[in-house]
A = this chain, B = another copy of it.
Amino acid sequence: MKNKAITSRDEDFAKWYDDVIKAAHLATYSSVKGCVIIEPNGYAIWENMQKVLDGMFKETGHQNVNMPVFIPESLLKKEAEHVEGFAPEVAWVTMGGSKELEERLCFRPTSETLFSEYYANTVKSYRDLPKLYNQWVNVVRWEKETRPFLRSREFLWQEGHTLHETPEEAKEETLRMLMIYKKFFTDYLAIPAIVGQKTEKEKFAGAEFTYTVEALMYNGVSLQSGTTHYFGQKFSKPFNIQFSNRENVLENPYQTSWGVTTRMIGALIMVHSDDNGLVLPPKIAPRQVVIVPIKNEEAVLNKANEILASLKQAGITAFIDTSDKSAGFKFAEHETNGIPVRIEIGPKDLEAGKVVMARRDTSEKMDVTLDTNMPSYVKDLMEKIQNNLLETATKRRDELTFTAKNMDDVKHIMETQPGFVKAMWCGDTECELKMKEIRGTKSRCIPFDEEQEHISDTCVCCGKPAKHMVIWGIQY
C-alpha cells in the first residue's frame, strides 16, 4: 500500500524527507523565510523528547532557568573565539518601538555569555558550586540554506550550562551529559548513535574540547545530533567569574555547556521512516495505539471502548478513530502518521472472537483473540517494535560503515554509497581540509579509546604517522 503523496526513499531521499514531513503533518512553512511552523504531530514528539530528557537532567541534579533572549553586542564580544564563530550568523534587533537602540542586541544563538555574566554576579565561594542549570528555549542562527528540523533560522533546544570547582568535575559533567544523550538516542529514539570527541577544527567556538553524538541517516549521511562542551576557564576568565576556593584563594571556575535540538525530529524521520510515511519508536510516539472500528456499530464500538479503557489504564496512549472515513483510508492515515500499533475490530472479528493488530514497523498483521490480556500483549508488541527499530537501524549503520586506507578508498565510498568512514588521521587540519574536497567529507568524531580501531599506520590523507582513527562522513 504505497502512499502516493510520498516519493520513494530510494529514488529521491531529499524529496522523500519533505514529503514525509508534509504527509504526517509534522511541520509546514510560513511567510517567515527559513523558519518552520511545527504542527501538532511534530510538536507532540518534541514534548515527549523534552519530558524524557528533562527527567534525566533533573535526576542528575540539574535545574531549569530562563535567561533573556537578547544578548547585548558588547556581552557577545567578551570571548573572542566565541564571537568570531557566531557573529556572522546572528540576527540583530536594532529598534525598540520607533526608537533606534543605543546598543544593538542579538537574538541568542546560544547563551554562554548570558550564563557567564549571571554566574559572575552570583557565585562567590566553592560552597556555591557546582551550578547545574539548563534552559529549554528558542535560538536563532541566520542560516542561508535551511531544511525543516535539520537547519532552520529559529529552532528549539535545551542548553545546559554548568560551573564547577575543578577541571575534573567539569570534564566529568561533559562526559556525563554526553552519555545521557547517547542513552536517550539508544533507548528512546532507537538510534544507534556514536559518540566521541570533535577535532580542533570542528569543535564549538570557544570550547577547549567538544564531545558529539553522531547519527547515520538511512541514506548514509551523518547528522550531528547533540554536543557537550568543556570550556575550562575560557569564559570564566574574560567574564571574571571568581570563587574563593577551599584554600580561600580566588580562582576562576570550570565550565561546560551541552545541547540537543528539534533536529532530533529530523533524525527520527531519516533513520526509521519509510515510503508509507513516519515510523516512530513506541517509547517516543505521542500516540502509541490507534483502534479502528471497521464499522461504527454498537457491539464493535463497545468492544473498542473496552479495549481502549484497558490500554489507557495500563498507561498506554491509545485512541479510537470513529471518524466517518473508510477503514482503508484510516489505515493509510495512521500509517503515515507513524502510530506504532493499529488494532482493527470489525463485526466479523467479533464473531470470530478476535481483533487484528498491525505493526507499523514491519506491516505484519496478527489475529489476537479477545481473551488475551490486551495491555500486556500490546506492551510486549511495542517492546518488540522498539527493539526491531534499533536493530534495523544498527544493521543499516553497520552496513554503511566502511574503512578507508587512502584517499581513493574515501573517494570511492563517498561517491558510490556514503556512510561512516573509519580512517586514520595524523591530526593536521590541512588533511581535514583535503578530505572536505571529497563531497564535503568532514571528521565526525574521534572515538574514545575503547572504540578506537587500528585501520592502518598512516594518515589516510598525507601518509604521515597516524594519531587516531577518526570517523568521517558527509553531513547535513
Q: Which A residues between 11 and 53 are near B, CB-CB below 8 angstroms?
A: 28, 30-32, 35-40, 43-44, 46-47
Interface membership of A94, Cβ < 8 A: yes
A40 touches B94 (CB 8 A): no
* Residue pair A92, B93 in contact (C-beta under 8 Å): yes
Q: Does A416 contact B (CB under 8 A)?
A: no
Return chain B residues, CB-CB under 8 Å to A122: 28
CB-CB contacts below 8 Å: A33-78 with B: 35-40, 43-44, 46-47, 63-72, 75
CB <8 Å contact, B91 and A92: no
- Inter-chain CA distance A118–B36, complex, in Å, is 11
Kindly report how many copies of this chain are found in the complex they form together.
2
Chain B residues with CB under 8 Å of A137's CB are: 138
- With an 8 A cutoff between CB atoms, is A96 at the interface? yes
Does A97 have its Cβ within 8 Å of any Cβ on chain B?
yes
Out of B32, B47, B65, B92, which one reaches A38, CB within 8 Å? Answer: B65
B89 touches A92 (CB 8 A): no
A68 to chain B: which residues have CB within 8 Å? 30, 32, 35-37, 154
Closest B residue to A41 using CB positions? B63
Q: A425 in the interface, Cβ–Cβ < 8 Å?
A: no
Tell me if A95 is interfacial: C-beta within 8 Å of chain B.
yes
On chain B, the residues within 8 Å of A67 by CB distance are 30, 37
- Contacting residues of chain A (143-179) with chain B, CB-CB under 8 angstroms: 153-154, 156
A154 touches B70 (CB 8 A): yes
Interface assignment of A409: CB less than 8 Å from any CB of chain B: no
Asked if residues B97 and A94 are in contact (CB atoms below 8 Å), the reply is no
**In the bound complex, how far is the Cα of B437 from the Cα of A383, in angstroms?**
68
Cα distance A32–B137 in the bound complex, in angstroms? 17
Given contacts A35-B68, A154-B70, contact A97 B93 (CB under 8 A): no
Q: Distance (Å) between the CB of A194 and the closest chain B CB?
A: 30
Whether A313 is near chain B, meaning CB under 8 Å from some CB there, is: no
Give the residue among A35, A66, A105, A107 with the most B Cβ atoms within 10 A: A66
Asked if A117 is at the interface of the complex by the 8 Å CB criterion, the answer is yes
A117: chain B residues at CB < 8 Å are: 30-31
A151 nearest CB across to chain B (Å): 14
Measured CA separation A66–B36 after assembly (Å): 8
Q: A95 and B97: CB pair below 8 A?
A: no
A114 to B69, CA, bound (A): 20
A36 cross-chain contacts in B, Cβ below 8 A: 68
- Asked if A121 is at the interface of the complex by the 8 Å CB criterion, the answer is yes
Give A contacts to B, CB under 8 Å. Answer: 28, 30-32, 35-40, 43-44, 46-47, 63-72, 75, 87-98, 104-105, 107, 114, 117-118, 121-122, 133, 137-138, 140, 142, 153-154, 156
A-B contact pairs, 23 of them (CB 8 A): A30-B117, A31-B72, A31-B117, A32-B68, A35-B68, A35-B70, A36-B68, A37-B65, A37-B68, A40-B65, A40-B133, A43-B64, A43-B65, A44-B64, A47-B64, A69-B140, A70-B154, A87-B97, A92-B93, A92-B96, A94-B94, A96-B142, A97-B142
